[in-house]
Amino acid sequence: MAKRSDIPQFGLLSGVRVVHCTASIAGPLAASLFAEAGADVIMLENAKTPCM
């Protein structure tokens, strides 16, 4: 894996970390918009409930 300093950071939200732990339609959409704006999105999944 590349170190974080080796990855070019672009976007309005570069350097921001977002934790995504929703299962509805709006949550994944918002997380993808944050990612497109440059944020690091971390997705938490439940082992018993499948991902959408």
pLDDT tens per residue, range 17-37:
999 988 788 888 999 999 999
Q: Which residues, 6+ apart, have CB-to-CB distance to 17 below 8 Å?
A: 39, 40, 41, 42
Measured distance CA(47)–CA(33) in Å, rounded: 25
pTM beyond 0.75: no
What's residue 6's pLDDT?
A: 60
Beta strands (DSSP E) in 1-52 are: 17-20, 40-43
Q: What are phi and psi of 21, to 5 degrees?
A: -140, 35
Give the residue among 22, 50, 17, 16 at the shortest CA–CA distance from 30. 22
Q: What are phi and psi of 14, to 5 degrees?
A: -65, 135
